[in-house]
Structure 1
Amino acid sequence: MEALGIDVLFKGTNALRLLQGLWIAAQISGISVALSIVLGVLLGIFMMWKNPVARVISRLYLEIVRIMPQLALLYIVFFGATRVLGINLSAEFSAIIVFTFWGTGEMGDLVRGALVSTPRHQYESAAALGLTRAQTYVHVIIPQAVRRLVPAAINLVTRMVKTTSLLLMIGIIEMMKVGQQIIEANRMTSPNAVFGIYGTIMLLYFAVCWPISLLANRLSKKWN
């Protein structure tokens, strides 16, 4: 075990600290996912508007989300907003803002894609039955769009969970940060701690994301 650096996990409360770091990452990603789903649905509907201004705004937002690295956004919000705007934001709150901003854009595009992929004759059939536009979306379009949306949305959740590894860069004591602290504290007595600690972190991320990924694949196969 010493050769693999796993012995460090059994020193003091190191294993418990890693789990606490994982819980912090899970809390931030969970709050961000919940907000992203709600705001992403609204954004997806907004992106369907035929208004030119709405299209330009939604397109610009989506391009910013796709092009800007999440780490750069974290720095802009946490360090930039604090100094330029004089706003005192905690690292955790800054992370939720950035992850929600990113997740809303991604979710909005997924919602838009699910709505666009619904066959045109579904709209026409609903209109022939005398349904209003609102009734058409509630009773016909949205139930079909959800089937296309859910697997992709679940995969987005796994991406958001994994991206929490960047939070150490703004000082949040999540799992990666705790791992660094353990390695630094034991670098003389356990030189192989890097392998053991980061290997454990990899397994913990896998344990969280794998069931979510399986759920996405199962739903996709079931509904197809």
Structure 2
Amino acid sequence: MQNTGIELLFEGNNLLRILEGTLNTIQIAFISIFLGLIFGLIFGIIYSSKNKTVRLICRLYLEIFRIIPILVWLFVFYFIVPKFFNIDISGEIVAICVFVLWGIAEIGDITRGAIESITKHNSDVALALGFNKLQLYKYILIPLSFKRIIPGVVNLTTRMIKTTSLVVMIGVVDTIKVGQQIIESNVLKVPDAAFWIYGFIFFIYFIICYPMSKLAKNLENKWNK
């Protein structure tokens, strides 16, 4: 009797392999967002500078990562950079590097917008009390910006988790790659394998991303009030 797609999910170690691929996806996304958050805050502070040259350079960096698709950056870092510098880089490291650079750009812009949305009165009062620039950012601007930054960071995390599906193009074994391997090895004996495997992967992405999306929306609504 021919197996069905749903039986294929629980056949052998297929389910475990998909979950391991999911863990790899989550690791890439969360390491990237963690490093992107740290350096993105610094980038956002620099971007909020009044110096036109500094702002132009920061804007150029931001636009480069917004205009050029992430897939292109993955190919550049995986195929071109190692050959140019004669080094060997794993697909996972390439993925993290690209997503961190993207995260820095996006979180930096979120931070810059949050800082600039704070009324000038707060800065004037702090400066009048004798705060220097470092103290102004440390005790006034960054704490006041934090609530405005968090929803955007949560949204970016959701986008990053979904975008990790592209890492399969550079050989990283993630959820999608594992699903493809299972389908290809069983397509002849289980014609509806793709429906069930990709359906299950869709469900995994949904249960990871939907709560985060709702959290970002709820935080935004709560703090806007």
Q: For 2:90 and 2:68, locate their aligned partners in 1 and report how far apart those are by CA, in whole Å.
A: 22
User: Any stretches of 5+ residues in structure 2 without a counterpart?
Assistant: none
Q: Which amino acid in 2 is paired with 1:98?
A: V
Shift of 1:121: 1.5
Shift of 1:3: 9.5
User: 1:177: which partner in 2?
Assistant: 177
Q: Which amino acid in 1 is paired with 2:31?
A: I
Shift of 1:31: 0.9
User: Any stretches of 5+ residues in structure 1 without a counterpart?
Assistant: none
Give yes or no for contact 1:4–1:195 (8 Å, CA) kept in 2: no
Q: For 2:163 and 2:184, locate their aligned partners in 1 and report how far apart those are by CA, in whole Å.
A: 23
Give yes or no for contact 2:3–2:189 (8 Å, CA) kept in 1: no
User: 1:61: which partner in 2?
Assistant: 61
Q: Which amino acid in 2 is paired with 1:177?
A: K
Shift of 1:190: 0.8
User: 2:21: which partner in 1?
Assistant: 21
1:34 aligns with 2:34: yes
Q: For 1:134 and 1:95, locate their aligned partners in 2 and report how far apart those are by CA, in whole Å.
A: 34
Q: TM-score, normalised by structure 1?
A: 0.94
Number of residues of Structure 1 aligned to a counterpart in Structure 2: 223
Greater shift after overlay, 20-29 or 42-51?
42-51
User: 2:139: which partner in 1?
Assistant: 139
Q: Which amino acid in 1 is paired with 2:139?
A: H
Shift of 1:204: 0.3
Give yes or no for contact 2:29–2:164 (8 Å, CA) kept in 1: yes
Q: For 2:201 and 2:166, locate their aligned partners in 1 and report how far apart those are by CA, in whole Å.
A: 14
Shift of 1:23: 0.4
Question: What do the CA deviations read for 1:169-203 (whole angstroms, capped 9, x no partner)?
Answer: 00011100000000001101111111111111011
Shift of 1:79: 0.6
Q: For 2:127 and 2:95, locate their aligned partners in 1 and report how far apart those are by CA, in whole Å.
A: 44
Q: TM-score, normalised by structure 2?
A: 0.94
Question: What do the CA deviations read for 1:125-158 (whole angstroms, capped 9, x no partner)?
Answer: 2233343333332222222111111111110011
User: Following superposition of structure 1 onto structure 2, how do residues 75-94 of structure 1 map, counting pairs within 5 Å?
Assistant: 75-94=75-94
User: 1:99: which partner in 2?
Assistant: 99
User: 1:111: which partner in 2?
Assistant: 111
Shift of 1:60: 1.1
User: Following superposition of structure 1 onto structure 2, how do residues 134-173 of structure 1 map, counting pairs within 5 Å?
Assistant: 134-173=134-173
Q: Which amino acid in 2 is paired with 1:127?
A: L
The percentage of counterpart residues that share the same residue type is: 45
Question: What do the CA deviations read for 1:8-61 (whole angstroms, capped 9, x no partner)?
Answer: 102111111100000011111111111100110010011122233312211110
- Runs of 4+ off more than 4 Å: none
Shift of 1:4: 7.2
Q: Which amino acid in 2 is paired with 1:176?
A: I
Question: What do the CA deviations read for 1:71-123 (whole angstroms, capped 9, x no partner)?
Answer: 00000000111222212111111111111111110110000000011111221
User: 1:192: which partner in 2?
Assistant: 192
Give yes or no for contact 2:4–2:193 (8 Å, CA) kept in 1: yes
Q: For 1:138 and 1:71, locate their aligned partners in 2 and report how far apart those are by CA, in whole Å.
A: 36
Q: Which amino acid in 2 is paired with 1:52?
A: K
